[in-house]
Structure 1
Amino acid sequence: MKLRLGILGADDSLAIIESVTREFAELECLKIVYWKEEDIFDLIEPHIHDADLWLFSGKVPYTMVRDWGKITVPMAYVPHMGASLYRTLLHLSHQCGILVHELSFDTFSAEELNLFLEEAGIEGGYTWLKHYDGAISAEELADYHEKLWKEGKTKAAVTCLRTADLELQARGVPVHRVLPTRAGVLSMIHMLLRTQEMLHFKDTQIAVQMMEIDPFRELAGGTFATDEWQNAEIKTMEKLLRYAKHLQGSLKTAGPGRYAIFTTRGSLHNVTSDYSTVPDLEEAFGIRADWVTCGIGIGKTAYEAEIHAGTALLHAKERGPANWMVFFDDKSIVGPLGSKEQISYSSASTRRLQKVSQQTSLSVLTLSKLDSILKKRASQEINAHELAQYMQILPRSARRILIELETKGLAQVVGEESPNPRGRPRKVYRIFM
C-alpha cells in the first residue's frame, strides 16, 4: 500500500518537488498549489485526512499549517538555506556581478544567515535582512525590498516567497528567488519516511488495558443469589468483548472483576485521544465510567506490556475508583486520563531522587511525582492543598510529605496564603531537590 504525500507550495517549487517524488515508488502524491497565503487553509482543509505525510515548499506555509493545528500527521518543509541559497548567490556574483552586501534578503534569521556566509567563506557579510516568524504578506516584503532599491542602497532583492517574487517583478525591482534544490527535497522526504516508520512501529507496539470492574454493582437493589452474580459477570464480559472487538484486541479474565485486553498502542492512542482522555464506554458499550478503574501498559513484548498495565492499575487505584493511568515503555507514567491535573512522572530511579529518598522516608516514586508537578507548574513553590490536588491524596498526606522534606532541609516555608478571610492560612513551601 502506497503512502500518500501531500505537497503544498508555490508553482515553481512544486515542479522541483514533484520531479524528486517520482523516484519513490512507495509514494502517491497529492499536489496543492497556492498563490496567496490567506488561501492556504481553504485549500488544505478538504484534504486534511487525505495524506499520511505533508511536505511544504517553504517555511511560511509550514508554519501557518503547524500553528493551525488541524494536521496531526508528520509534516516538514524544504529549507531555503544551504545549497539553495548558495546557488542563488553564486549566480548573482558570477552572472550579475552583485555582491552580498549589495543585496536585501528576507525570511532567514540573522544567526543562520551569518553562519551560512561564514561556512561558505563569503567575506563582508550582508547589510539588509527582513526576518519574520510565521506568515507575512507579499506586499510587506515587496515594500521592504523596493524601498531599499529605490534609495540606491541595494542592487537586487533575494526572496524566499513566490508571491513576493511576483510582486517585485511587477514593480520592476530586480529580484532573485531562492528555490529548493533536489538534494534538499530528497533529504526532507527521507526524513518524513523515517518519521512515518518510527510512528508505525510505535502504533504496532503491544498494549494491554487492565481493567477492574465490579459486575455486582449491577445488582444494586436486587438479589445476590449465585445465579444473579454469574449473570452480572456474563453481561460485563459481553460488553467488554464488544469493546475489545472495537480495539481489534482480545479479552481475557485476570481474576474476579479484573479483565485484560491485549491490543496495540495505536488503537488505544485513538480511543484515548493520545492518552489524554477516558473513552466514552457507557454510550458505546454500556459500561459505566464510574465503575471502571484502569491501567494501560505499553511494552516491547506482551509480557512487558502486561506487567506495565498491572503497575499502572496499582497507580490508578492509589488515586481512587474510576481513575485511568498509563505506563509507557520508557518507564514514564501518565495520568489520570481526563484530569485537568494530569501529570507525567518516571518510575525509573534517578540518582538525584535516590539520594533524596535515602535522606527521607519518601519513596523515589513519590519524589518523582513531586518533581513532575513542580516542573509542570514551572515553580519550586507549592502548598499542601495544591500538592494534594495534583497527587489526588488527602491534604494531611501532602502536609506529611512537605514536612518530611522541610525536616531534612530539602524544603523551606517561604510564606502563607489565606484561601478566604476565615480560612486557615496555608504554608507555602519552596522545594530544594
Structure 2
Amino acid sequence: MPSAHEEVTVGVIGAEQIVHRTMALARELDNPSLRLVTAVYDDEHDAHAQASRIASRVDVCLFAGPLPYDMALAAGQLPVPATYVPSGGPALFSTLLRGVLENVFDPARISVDTISQRDLQHAYEEIGVKVAGVRLTEYVGPESADRFFDFHRKLYERGKTTGVVTTVPSVEAALRKADIPCLRMAPSATTIRDALTTAILMGSGAKLEESRIVTMIIQVPGSALPAHASPSNYWYQELKLSLHRELLRDARPMDAAVVPRDDHSFLIVMTMGSLRLATNNLSMAPFLGRIHEELGILLEIGIGLGRSTREAEVNAQSAVDKAAADGGRTAFIVGPRDTVLQLPGDRSHVAERSAAAPDTKGAQVLVRLAERLDALGDTERVVDAEKVAELLGVTLRTARRSLHTLVDEGLAWPMPPSHSSKVGRPPRPYQLLVEKLPR
C-alpha cells in the first residue's frame, strides 16, 4: 500500500447505492492516505461524463462494474488509470438467500444476467439446488446489457421464470416498472475491498510515474489436479488455500493485491516498480521456484502489461496461455503491441532437491505406495488405512502409523470420513501428495 505520506485519491463512479457502500467500506480500510471523490449517475450511459467531471481531481477511477467501465472507455479516453468492481462471485449466494427469505422468487426458476455460466453452476452446486430451470445471459460488452431487459421480460411473461437477478441498476428499474419480481446483485464487501485495493495500487503507481498497469495470472496446471477436481474436493480446497498463503507471503513485500480468479488461478495486481522488484529487474520469474519447492507444483505464470486493467488482464491471459504451452518452465510477459518476454525460473535449489533420493521415512513410504497404485492404474491416489495395509503388506496399526507420518511430513492430506455401511467409526481417506516427491 502507499506510504502514509503519499496520498492517493480514488474516484468512485456508480449508482448511488454502491457508491455509498464503497465509501463505507473504504473507511473500514483505515488508510489515512486514501481520499475518495464520488460521482453518482442514474444511468450507466452517463459513466464517462461523470468520470470526466472528476478526473482532474483523482489519481484513478473505480467504476461500479464492467458495464459502466466499458461504456466510459468506449465514449473516450480518461486522463487517469481506471478499473472496476467485478460482478458475480460470493454476491450471488446472498442474492439468492434474499430472494427466498423475502419470498421474491423461486431460485430454481429465475433468469440471471452478467455472471459466467461457470460461476452460476458452482453456486448452485454449493447450495444443492438444480440449475436446469435457471436461464442465464452473460455479459460480453455494453451491447449485451442493452438486451438484458428483453431477455428477462420475455422469459417471465412466458411463465418460464418466477423472477430476475440482475447486476444493472437501470435494468432493475425497468423490471420493477414492469412489475416483474427482481433483485439486484450488488458486489460483496470482499469484492469491493479488493477492487479498492487494486485502485489504490494503480493510483499510487501513476503518481510515482509507474503508470503502466501490471496484472499477473498464477494458474495451477491441470496435471497437478486430481482427476475429478471440484469446489467440494477436500484435497483441492487445501491445495488452493496453501497456494493462496504462499502467494500472499511473497506478494506482501511487493505491495501487491492477490485475488482468487477462478477455481484454478489467482489474479495479482501490482505496479511496474513492484514487478521489477519481484523479478530482479525482469530477469527471473516471480513465485515459480519457491512455490514449486514448497508445494511441489510447477505453476503457470502469465504477466500482462497495459494502459488499463482490461488491457493488462487480456495480455496476462495471453501470457499464461504461453506459459501453459511451455509446461510451466518459464513465466511469460505480454505487453502492448504484442511485446513478449520470457522469464526463466530460479529453481537451482529445486534441482538440487530433485536430484536427491527420498531421505525421510514418509517419502520412502509414499514412493512404495505410489508405485503400487500406479501398477493398479489408480490415478486418484486416495487411500485409507485398510488400503495401505493391503498395498504394503503390513498390519492395520502400522498402516495407520504410516499415514500419520505422511501427514506430519506434508506428504498427505486427511479428508472427511467417507460414508460407510459398516458398524463403527467410518474409515478416513487420505489424499497422497505424490507430486511433492523428488522427481
TM-score by length of 2: 0.44
